Amino acid sequence: MNFKEKLFKAALKNRSWLCVGLDPDISKLPSNIVKTPSGIEEFLKVVIDTTKDLVCAYKPNSAFYEQFGIDGIALLKSIISFVPADIPVILDAKRGDIGNTSKMYAAAAFDYLGADAITVNPYMGFDSIWPFLDYKDKGVIILCLTSNLSSSDFQKRQVIDIDNRQIPLYQVIARTALAWNKNDNVGLVVGATKPEELGELRKLVGDGIPILIPGVGAQGGDLEMSLKNGSNKDGQLAIINVSRSVLYASKESDYAAKSRENALALVSIMRSLLF
């Protein structure tokens, strides 16, 4: 089963387009969790166990694991394999390099870690992305318009596209992503903090492309607006990522119940609007 099929299946089974971000930060862990990679492993496994009927995907961000060196990589691999087999894992690593190097990044993410999809940075162009696209069953989710304030530094600049039209750079990326979608395995990242552009981008790419939408919760993005503008005509394929406001719902030993509560609050809104 490829990434998109797995994503659809999980979303329909759980009636949810919530993706819980698994970003371990020692300073935010509940007080009863031991502040070591093995303590974090226990914490993340509890959160996965308590939310696995509420999500369409999980998204570990590689940086939060790399900070622990070799133990962090082992932790990342163990967490990815702990996620139930019918729920896709999106590795957020924003990779991209000369083709020869991207090939190694792709092997690390897909062959070694066992992720179902990866986020990539398109700045270096097609030959930096094709080694990922070449894994036909894996999702390749391209940064398009990111949630951070400084995304406007480059992404919103007006540029001339190949048909001589002047459009913002993020639209060039979306149009190019469509052209790269020969294996039906491309997705886009568009921040929840950019609701108008999100709607515009959904129209531009049509109904078949998954859009990963981070920024709801801690970054202030609006859930309903993100669903309304990011979903396709059937109310699908807007993957709403929430990391901190689900993971760190409580500093106390009741964290499992509180994480579930926060996830369920988001999913209840999704169910009332989309399912």
Which residue, 9 or 199, is less far from ligand NUP as judged by CB?
Answer: 199
Q: What are the DSSP E strand ranges found in the chain? A: 18-22, 57-60, 90-95, 117-120, 139-145, 158-160, 166-168, 186-190, 211-214, 238-242
Q: Radius of gyration of the chain from Cα atoms?
A: 18
Residue 164 C-beta: closest distance to ligand NUP, Å: 29
Decide if 13 is catalytic. Answer: no
Which residue, 168 or 191, is less far from ligand NUP as judged by CB?
Answer: 191
Residue 64 C-beta: closest distance to ligand NUP, Å: 7
H helices of 52-168, in order, are 63-66, 70-82, 99-106, 126-133
Residue 256 C-beta: closest distance to ligand NUP, Å: 18
CA distance 34 to 27: 11
Which residue, 9 or 108, is less far from ligand NUP as judged by CB?
Answer: 108
Q: Which residues bind ligand NUP (CB under 6 A)?
A: 21, 23, 61, 92, 119, 146-147, 189, 191, 214-215, 217-219, 241-244
Mutual orientation of helices 37-51 and 255-274 as an angle, nearest 10°?
40
Q: Are 258 and 245 in contact (CB under 8 A)?
A: no
Which residue, 11 or 22, is less far from ligand NUP as judged by CB?
Answer: 22
Residue 223 C-beta: closest distance to ligand NUP, Å: 12
The burial of 134, by beta-carbon neighbours within 10 Å (0-12 exposed, 13-18 middle, 19 or more buried), is given as: middle
Which residues are catalytic, by number? 94
